[in-house]
Structure 1
Amino acid sequence: YLDSEDSGKPIYIYINSPGGSVLAGMALYDTMQHIKSPVVTINVGLAGSMASFLLASGEKGKRIALPHSRIMIHQAMGGAQGQAEDIKVEATQILQIQNSIVRLYAKMTGQPEETIEKDLMRDNFMSAEEAKEYGLIDQIIQLNDATDLPSRTGAQAGEAPKG
């Protein structure tokens, strides 16, 4: 819908999340890649697990974090119960998802896949500065310095509020 309204207008996603469902996150990732509008991602607190993946999935150059925000990456998690064959199928699925996530993180960050695999082995917390060095984000900003973000009044940066 947003893409059809004005495909040149950026879409801003503010993130403060410990993460969530891998499948739901991958659906959001696919949507972000499909639309024509540039997607600006902004970490305002914690971007953990799948939320860190979505943060890094924003438009290159427009992946932003506030100075005291944190980013956490780790391998895909899942669970299974049932008969042995059911568990085997679920394990195969989670490994396929993990391989896809490794490839995509490598593409988004510029890190080698081997580095990503190693760094995802455990919960890996980063400061905004460390995440920038790693390639998960592009900028660290103070909100009052953010000339390209919409203001609380809805006015565009540099415009006086209407009314």
Structure 2
Amino acid sequence: MPVLSTPSDPADRLLGERIVLLARELDDDVAAETCARLLLLAAEDARRDITLHVLAPGGSPVAAMAVHDTIRTLGVDVATVAVGSLAGPVPFLVASGTPGKRLARAHAAFLPTADGPVRGSHPGDVRVRADHLAGRRREIESLTAAYCGAPLPDDARDRWLSAAEAVTFGIVDGLSEPRTETDS
């Protein structure tokens, strides 16, 4: 069996294929790592697409906005692929990919809310953070409406959407087709 000369961490190996994997609860550290990977790939080749595979179960609206801003300012197309169950502000990240290049796997599920954790040790800290998060929620809802072509219906935030419904609501552009035996 040949020995691979690439890094052993699968996420690092995917970078060679211009794929970034966001596969953990989205917090500030995960956002920083994701942004760094996106920036690295854009700097390496400003003409080739980057693919962001998203299978994060939810997370912080503030962290989501950091990844969003990076995606939208890279200067390269970012294809997004939704995998698994995405909740909170994470579906917004999928919607913020390059139009025409936003996909969902057939069994992806979406709960598109902008809610996230409010943390703080002092009651005043909690209020300030809650106010900040409320502003982020409004921004995320406004940007999601822009990326989807219309605001999501109110009931879209109260239930899990299937991948096909995500296409209908404009969160993604289509479903990722399964491989066939004729694919190489």
Identify the TM-score tier after normalising by the shorter chain. Answer: 0.7 to 0.9
Selected match of 1:19 from 58, 68, 83? 58
**1:72-119, Cα deviation, whole Å (9 max, x unpaired):** 11232232455443333222112111111111111111113xx56x34
**In 2 relative to 1, CA 88–40 (structure 1 residues): closer, same or farther, beyond 3 Å?**
same
With CA pairs under 8 Å and 6+ residues apart, which has the higher RCO, 1 or 2?
1
Matched, 1:89 2:124: no
Selected match of 1:64 from 90, 103, 112? 103
Distance 2:90 2:114 in 1: 13
Selected match of 1:135 from 170, 175, 182? 170
Distance 2:141 2:134 in 1: 10
Matched, 1:9 2:48: yes
**In 2 relative to 1, CA 16–80 (structure 1 residues): closer, same or farther, beyond 3 Å?**
closer
Distance 2:119 2:87 in 1: 22
Q: Partner letter of residue 133 of structure 1?
A: T
**In 2 relative to 1, CA 36–123 (structure 1 residues): closer, same or farther, beyond 3 Å?**
same
C-alpha RMSD of matched pairs (Å): 2.2
**In 2 relative to 1, CA 30–11 (structure 1 residues): closer, same or farther, beyond 3 Å?**
same
The answer as to whether partners of 1:63 and 1:137 remain within 8 angstroms in 2 is yes
**In 2 relative to 1, CA 119–61 (structure 1 residues): closer, same or farther, beyond 3 Å?**
same
Q: Match of 2:91?
A: 52
| Cα shift at 1:58 | 0.7
Unpaired stretches in structure 1, ≥5 consecutive residues = 146-157
TM-score, normalization: structure 2? 0.69
| Cα shift at 1:5 | 1.5
